[in-house]
Amino acid sequence: MSINYDEQIPNNVNLSGDKRLQRALEKWQPAFLDWWNDVGPVGFQKDDIYLRTAVSTQPGGWAQFGHVKMPDYRWGIFLEDADPNRTIPGGDHAGEAVWQEVPGEYRNTLRRIIVTQADTEPASVEQQRWLGQTAPSMYDMRNLFQVNVEEGRHLWAMVYLLHAHFGKDGRDEADDLLARRSGDADKPRILDAFNQPCPDWLTFFCFTMFTDRDGKYQLGALAESGFDPLARTCRFMLIEEAHHLSVGELGVERVLRRSVQLTKADKNGDARAQGGIDLPTVQKWINYWYSYSLDLFGSEISSNAADFFGAGLKGRWNESKDFTDHSALNQHYTMAVVRNGSLTEDQVPLRNAMNEVLRQSYMADCERVVKRWNRALEEEGTDFRVSLPSSRFFRRQGIYAGHDFNREGDLIGSETWQKNSASWLPSDADRAYVASLMHAVTEPGKMANWIAPPRKGVNGQDIAFEYVRRA
Ligand SMILES: [Fe+2]
Ligand SMILES: [Fe+2]
């Protein structure tokens, strides 16, 4: 169905056909705008930003680009078209017709799943609200704001489901989504990574690379849900999400390239002496954000994950395409667990290992990016290579939390951890150094010294295009 921009809330769900729902969402809309103005990007709400807006949900050519003031962005409700023949991809109901309404017995669980996903969307906007002030270029600033408005739209996507399918409870949850605040002591966001500050652009690039990529896999699992409106919502969100991931991947790549160039330019091979970010520092940021993002998948062994899968509420990545046995029963997953102070292998019923199965898909995706980063390092002429730490390293959630592991994933004593963690994770001095480099570069086409220019601009525009027109 095509997108209707004539209504107050753009949508492709025939919103005007349900007046009660339309009115309820029109009441939520000004609260959303208040939230955006309060805790969205600081200092750029009056400027014209070159942004894309969804005009259809068909892949390829779905977006229109133009200069827009962010508060005027047309946030709306866009679901992928329904497939009348779609069946439930996995679990006990696999092969049955998908649900268009929430099944009563899964109502609370499904609401929790949707709220947890929804909460991450405004949280990331809050985390990133100060970054516009120190953007390394107008091009990067525009990308930041594109990510921000789309996270706002993802919030709309989830709030629509809450309003349309969960009655009063859903409307209350939608209100609460605007009341929690990232990092707030009293009303924090639900997941820990979304309460971490995002004070510098290296963090932003690592966050969009690793944490938004967790989002990709969570959305992918929900795109395999038996609750069809959720699956269709997530399918379209995934198309938008791809841009966020590329901002992160290419951002880190540009930092790496520049780091090598500055290392070579310095007579002592010291990138910091040339005002750059040295490669070992980038590696520390990777260690930190990769580990934090791994936590978001939940515990390796989880009866909740088994229940979600069994009920058909969540699937594996590409459940309908990549698997033949959709029951996941009578199968086991081999997992390393800590027992009596050492690592041993356990056989876990596959359904209970579904968080880990999804995490493994994510990890393989991250590895592919690391390969591309290392190709870039090779092109720049260095032997230095970046890598991902073991998935046991620096975990605060799941079965490895509470134990110390080195980057290779070997169990180590806490003394060894104390001695080495400063060389594995960003220290206060590292953070202060990176923060000291963060100064806005506002001349179109110019880049901060610590980052290489991108290969190309946005939507065929020049890198020196005026992506942000200051008011
Ligand atoms: Fe999102
Ligand atoms: Fe995102």
- d(CA 120, ligand 1 centre) in Å: 7
Cα of 242 vs centre of ligand 2, distance in Å, is 8
Q: Strands 48-54 and 332-339, how do they pair? A: unpaired
Q: Which tokens hold the place of 390? A: 């073991």
- Domain for residue 366, yes or no? yes
Give the domain range for residue 285: 25-469
Domain assignment present for 369: yes
Closest ligand relative to 146 C-alpha: 2
For the chain, helix, strand, coil in percent to 5 are 50, 10, 40
Residue 391 inside a domain? The answer is yes
The residues facing 345 across adjacent strands are 336
Instruction: Specify if 226 maps to a domain.
Output: yes
- Give every CB contact of residue 349 below 8 A, 6+ residues apart in sequence: 306, 331, 332, 333
Look at residue 79 in the predicted model and tell me its pLDDT: 94
CA–CA distance, 442 with 467 (Å, rounded to integer): 10
Using the mean position of ligand 1's atoms as its centre, give its distance from the Cα of residue 339 in Å.
37
CA of 247 to the centre of ligand 1 (A): 13
- Other CB atoms within a 10 A radius of the CB of residue 398 amount to 20
Q: Encoding tokens for residue 33?
A: 């705008």
CA of 67 to the centre of ligand 2 (A): 21
20 domain-assigned: no
Euclidean distance between the first and final Cα of the chain, in Å? Answer: 36
Ion ligand 1 — residues with CB under 5 Å? 121, 151, 154
Summary count for the chain: helices (H), strands (E): 13, 7
DSSP code of residue 11: B
* Gap from CA of 238 to ligand 2 centroid (Å): 9
DSSP string over 325-363? --S--S-EEEEEEEETTEEEEEEEEGGGGHHHHHHHHHH
What's the pLDDT score for residue 3? 81
Other CB atoms within 10 A of residue 184 CB: 12
Give Cβ neighbours of residue 321 (< 8 Å, ≥ 6 apart).
Answer: none
**Ligand 2 centroid distance, CA of 285 (Å):** 19
**In this structure, which ligand is nearest to the CA of 121?**
1
- Please classify residue 101 by burial: count the beta carbons closer than 10 Å to its beta carbon, then call 0-12 exposed, 13-18 middle and 19+ buried: exposed
Can you name the residues that pair with 468 across neighbouring β-strands? 49
The ligand whose atoms approach the alpha carbon of 151 most closely is 1
Counted domains in the chain? 1
Task: Report how far ligand 1's centroid is from the alpha carbon of 411 (Å).
Answer: 35
Q: How many residues does the chain have?
A: 471
pLDDT of amino acid 55: 83
| Residue 2 forms part of a structural domain | no
Return the number of other C-beta atoms located less than 10 Å from residue 439's C-beta.
Answer: 13
In whole angstroms, give the CA distance from residue 85 to residue 7: 30
| CATH code at position 462 | 1.10.620.20
Q: How far apart are CA 254 and CA 247, in angstroms?
A: 10
Residue 57: predicted pLDDT: 82
**Contact (Cβ atoms closer than 8 angstroms) between residue 263 and residue 278:** yes
Q: What is the pLDDT of residue 4?
A: 84
249 in a structural domain:
yes
Ligand 2 centroid from CA 147, angstroms: 6
**Tokens 């998935």 appear where?**
391
CA distance 41 to 132: 7
Where the chain has pLDDT below 50, the residues are: none
Report pTM.
0.97
Closest CA to 160 of 104, 237, 229, 240: 229
pLDDT of residue 62: 83
Domain assignment present for 336: yes
Q: Return the DSSP state at 207.
A: I
CA–centroid distance, 150 to ligand 1, in Å, is 7
Integer Cα distance of 296 and 270 in angstroms: 35
What is the 139 CA–ligand 2 centroid distance (Å)?
Answer: 18
Three-state DSSP at 68 gives strand
Please state the separation of Cα 398 from the chain's center in Å. Answer: 20
What spacing in Å lies between the alpha carbon of 123 and ligand 2's midpoint? 11
Contact 335/363 with Cβ under 8 angstroms?
Answer: no
Q: Cβ atoms within 10 A of the Cβ of 297, count?
A: 26
Please name every residue paired with 404 in a beta bridge, in sequence order, or none if there are none: 412
